[in-house]
Amino acid sequence: MTSSLRARAEQALRACGAADDHPAADGELIARTPLDGSVLCRLNPSNPEQVSDAIDQAHQAFSRWRTVPAPQRGVLVRRLGELLTEHKADLADLVTLEAGKVTSEALGEVQEMIDICEFAVGLSRQLYGRTMASERPGHRLMETWHPLGVVGVISAFNFPVAVWSWNTALALVCGDTVVWKPSELTPLTAIACDALLRRAARDVGAPDGVHRLVLGPGPVGEQLVDDPRVALVSATGSVRMGRTVGPRVAARFGRCLLELGGNNAAVVAPTADLDLAVRAVVFSAAGTAGQRCTSLRRLIVHASIVDTVVDRLADAYRQLRVGDPTEDGVLVGPLIREQSWAAMASALERARADGGTVVCGGERLDRAGVYVTPALVRMPAQTEVVREETFAPVLYVLGYDTLDEAIALHNDVPQGLSSAVFTLDQREAERFLAADGSDCGIANVNIGTSGAEIGGAFGGEKETGGGRESGSDSWKAYMRRATNTVNYSDQLPLAQGVKFGG
């Protein structure tokens, strides 16, 4: 199987025009597949000089790219979208090989890239400013938006290409250039995407340095964080990473866009459509083997139905097929690496010590790679282990009596990314969405916590970092605002009626 997986990776890279990019027979950066833990290839990580050169090339290209009219910048992103569509299957195969996603999820991630390109192309003609009423006669007050500079993108393994595209498509139409540091666990998907974007730039005559790729572990990202030529650092990862990145970027007065941890919960009310709720919960909790930042980790169920819900979930969990994500019918692929299983096993041990009961799952399969059965855990209370994010398929179930109690439980965690309520009672739904309801950046009704669409702004509050990416007005993070006052009169009235001179 190892040789066939390696051959598939090479074929996909070759199809994307990246077969000869970054080769290294004895490179220190090892691209492995979680499907069986084998090595796909070895690469040379970027050294400090190469990272600095990449930033410099992007910085130089920015001086040209920012003056290109935004609709023309959109032509580059349109071409990228066309190439992504052409190579959708190739990229999806790399996503499966490197991140372990089942085929439909991998294809869905690439489709998300195509969708954000379409969104960004439309946005290139809608970078609107405002005109405001001036208090002074013969004056016009307005605001304009301008390109920001080099955007450093640091992405995580679980969405190895989609999150990059959210940032890059918007940054490019906003007039910025990009330096991308992907997860060291998923370098091949990044190499393929970089090759396609470089091809798109050649096809439309865009400056060569509008996008640069750098590879390697933490120190590579630290250069992006600390370099004053990088105007915005968009970083996706752990809360621990964010605690380092945020202050360091702020120390040089740069901008930061953080997408960090999520300990997402759903409330199941007595009026919920349980058929719908169970389907949504199973996908949100077990999809991508629980390795989404929006994965459902806590289920807060009304006491009158909690036993029924747990029984139905347990039945569904026992029917989930875990295994090779390329096989038909498999819904749960592997964890990314051994450390993920260690964290999951530790969390389950702590949950049992806190009085929890593992209803089903939580076992490792005897095969190459890290394959586990999603765990369903009944908890007597929201203990410390429940309040922590474990990046694995562990779902804790808690009971509640009143909606106020459910919302209090929901909000009593450090993270604030995604949330949901299942109810057919409009009052309960509106209460959950109100200012004193869910404290998350994403709050849903009768749909799970994962699977956000690109049209809405994506991100969360508290330890999730406060950043917003993708749709809505997230583009404003990639631009700088200027307030303009134009005096078209022959007088010089001062604001607030101030008098100066004779």
pLDDT band of 35, cuts 50, 70, 90: very high
Q: Are residues 197 and 311 in the same domain?
A: no
The pTM (predicted TM-score) of the whole model is 0.96
Average pLDDT over residues 147-154: 98
Mark whether 428 and 474 lie in a shared domain.
Answer: no
Identify the CATH number of the domain in which residue 281 sits: 3.40.309.10
pLDDT of residue 339: 97
Residue 327 domain boundaries: 264-454
Question: Does residue 198 share a domain with residue 306?
Answer: no
pLDDT tens, position by position, 428-439: 999 999 999 999
pLDDT score, position 23: 62
* 20 pLDDT higher than 90: no
CB contact set of 151 (below 8 Å; sequence gap of 6+): 167, 168, 171, 176, 177, 178, 179, 230, 231, 232, 233, 234, 478
Q: Is the pLDDT of residue 11 over 90?
A: yes
Mean pLDDT of 8-34: 87
Report if residue 36 sits inside a domain: no
- What is the band of 40 on the pLDDT scale with cuts at 50, 70, 90? very high
* Average pLDDT rounded to a whole number, residues 146-159: 98
* Residue at 434 is within a domain: yes
For residues 373 and 411, state if they share a domain.
Answer: yes
The answer on 313 and 196 residing in a single domain is: no
| C-alpha span between 297 and 173 (Å, rounded) | 36
* Joined tokens for residue 398: 């808690």
Residues 294 and 156 occupy one common structural domain: no
Q: Is residue 391 part of a domain?
A: yes
Is residue 23 a part of any domain in this protein? Answer: no
**Same structural domain, 471 and 399:** no
pLDDT at 27: 81
Do 179 and 113 share a structural domain?
A: yes
Banded model confidence at residue 262, pLDDT cuts 50, 70, 90? very high
Asked which of 22-31, 290-299, 323-332, 395-404 is least confident by mean pLDDT, the reply is: 22-31
Tell me the pLDDT tens digit for each residue of 97-118: 999 999 999 999 999 999 999 9
Whether 477 maps to a domain, the answer reads yes
Q: What is the mean pLDDT of residues 114-131?
A: 97
Whether 25 shows a pLDDT value over 80: the answer reads no
Tokens of 404: 């106020």
Q: What is the pLDDT of residue 120?
A: 98
Verify that 450 and 470 share a domain, yes or no: no
Query: Which H/E stretch holds residue 140?
Result: strand 139-147
CA atoms within a 13 Å half-sphere pointing along the CA-CB vector of 319: 9
- Is residue 459 predicted with pLDDT exceeding 90? yes
- Percent of the chain with pLDDT strictly greater than 90: 95
Q: Is residue 400 part of a domain?
A: yes
Q: Is 421 helix (H, G, I), strand (E, B) or coil?
A: strand
Does the residue 487 lie in any domain? no
Claim to verify: residue 256 and residue 280 sit in the same structural domain: no
Q: Are residues 302 and 326 in the same domain?
A: yes
Q: Has 259 been annotated as catalytic?
A: yes
Whether 501 has a pLDDT exceeding 80, the answer reads no
Residues 252 and 354 occupy one common structural domain: no
Catalytic-labelled residue, pool 105, 259, 389, 469:
259
Tell me the pLDDT tens digit for each residue of 163-197. Answer: 999 999 999 999 999 999 999 999 999 999 999 99
Q: What is the mean pLDDT of residues 47-66?
A: 98
Q: According to the model, what pLDDT value does residue 26 have?
A: 76
At residue 242 the predicted structure's pLDDT band, cuts being 50, 70 and 90, is: very high
Kindly indicate the confidence band of residue 502, based on its pLDDT and cuts at 50, 70 and 90. Answer: low
345-380 tens-digit pLDDT: 999 999 999 999 999 999 999 999 999 999 999 999
Percent over 70 (pLDDT), the chain? 98
Total number of domains constituting the chain: 2
Strand extents, DSSP E, 204-261: 211-213, 230-236, 255-259
Q: What is the mean pLDDT of the chain?
A: 96
Is residue 475 in a domain? yes
Nearest to 403, CA basis, from 387, 377, 383, 422: 422
CATH number (domain holding residue 222): 3.40.605.10
